[in-house]
Structure 1
Amino acid sequence: MATEEVNKPPSLPSYPEMILKAVEGLNDQNGSNKSSISKYIESNYGDLPAGHSALISHHLNKMKQSGELVFWKNNYMKRDPNAPPRRGRGRPPKPKDHHISPEATVLSAARPRGRPPKDPNAPPKPPKVKVSSGTGKPRGRPRKMARPTGGLDGATATAGTTTPSGKPRGRPPKENASFTEVISVQQ
């Protein structure tokens, strides 16, 4: 047993403690980057676990999200104690009112959902009177008039295809090219 205690490496502090000591020890004005923090920890604490680089990345991200460290221009630095607390993304939640009186809860619970029913004892409402616009014309778009069947100057209109001037309306119909078969007779 004595040999096991001698070979046992001294216990390491937690990664957040080592990272904070590294940032304080490096004491850079603009903060310290991940590689300098890692080198500082490797030089001061001898035996580190095999996944040291993954562990330091994980703990740096965790400390950044919790607000212990500030990440700015690819460097980590300690948070200013006078700085306001960091706000999360999105809209802040509504404040919960813990000082609600018991009468308010009784009133809100007694009131049913939806529109209240009409009072059967209420007098009937007077009928609505239509108000005219004063111009004498009906409201809205005027109705379509029926199309005249005959032309104005005597030109006959078949199903509304010609105008009073005798010209057909619209695009002229395509002309069908008549094909003639050419049979060559071989002798």
Structure 2
Amino acid sequence: MAAEEINKPPSLPPYPEMILSAIEALNEGNGSNKTSISKYIESNYGDLPAGHIALLSHHLNRMKDTGEIVFWKNNYSKPDPNAPPRRGRGRPPKPKDLLSPASSEMAPARPRGRPPKDPNAPPKPVKPKAATAGSGRPRGRPRKMARPAGGITTGTAATTSAAPMTAGSGRPRGRPPKVKAASMTEVSVQN
């Protein structure tokens, strides 16, 4: 037994105790981050277990959840009893309503979808359609007017084109055709 006690490393204090002593010793204004806490524990307690980082993360998260330490802007610090609670980013979570015996007896769960119509219900009265707001015109975009069957002609063959003409403007729709310049032939002059 004496040999086992000699080879056994000195016992470490519990992780929460080491974390709190590190935060107190570092005494940083906004708290200490995980790296600085880990370096402090490594320098003061020497031989740490192989999974030190995982153990430290686990204990920091557990202490944060229980309220022993406060996590704010990636730093851990001791909670100030006089400070108002800090809010994180985003919408706060809804409070979880614990299931009580009274709430389970309230009503059975409703099925999904729209409920079926009651065949015994009296029919609803038909409402007369309300008139439009005084203008006398129907709502929405006006309907397109039908085009005349023949198209508009002015009498000369030069002014008519293949494209239909719009009513009232006197011009065909779209981009006008490109006018080709008269081709010039090269003439050589000899002296």
TM-score (norm 2): 0.54
Provide closer, same or farther for how the CA distance between residues 82 and 136 of structure 1 changes in structure 2, counting only shifts above 3 A: closer
Conserved 8 A contact 2:16-2:63: no
State the structure with more CA Rg.
1
Amino acid corresponding to residue 21 of structure 1 in structure 2: S
Conserved 8 A contact 1:70-1:76: yes
Deviation (angstroms), 1:174: 3.0
Partner Cα separation in structure 2 for residue 177 and residue 100 of structure 1: 90
* Paired-residue identity, %: 40
Provide closer, same or farther for how the CA distance between residues 138 and 35 of structure 1 changes in structure 2, counting only shifts above 3 A: closer
Which residue, out of 149, 153, 158, partners 2:151?
149
Deviation (angstroms), 1:144: 0.4
Per-residue CA distance 1:136-182 (angstroms, 9 max, x = gap): 9662525504326344x6456566359889x7525332356899xxx
Conserved 8 A contact 2:64-2:71: no
Q: Is residue 62 of structure 1 aligned with residue 61 of structure 2?
A: yes
- Give the secondary structure class of the aligned counterpart of 1:76: strand
Conserved 8 A contact 1:161-1:169: yes
Q: Is residue 49 of structure 1 aligned with residue 39 of structure 2?
A: no
- Give the secondary structure class of the aligned counterpart of 2:107: helix
Q: Is residue 16 of structure 1 aligned with residue 20 of structure 2?
A: no
Conserved 8 A contact 2:63-2:69: yes
Aligned to 1:105: 107
Per-residue CA distance 1:4-54 (angstroms, 9 max, x = gap): 222322221222221113334x272624564366336633x35333565x3
Which residue, out of 154, 167, 172, partners 1:169?
172
Aligned to 1:185: none
Conserved 8 A contact 2:165-2:172: yes
Unaligned runs of 5+ in 2: 184-191
TM-score (norm 1): 0.54
Partner Cα separation in structure 1 for residue 171 and residue 114 of structure 2: 67
Conserved 8 A contact 1:64-1:71: no
Question: How many residue pairs align between the two structures?
Answer: 172
Aligned to 1:182: none
Conserved 8 A contact 1:23-1:32: yes
Partner Cα separation in structure 2 for residue 126 and residue 21 of structure 1: 78
Conserved 8 A contact 1:18-1:41: no
Unaligned runs of 5+ in 1: 180-187
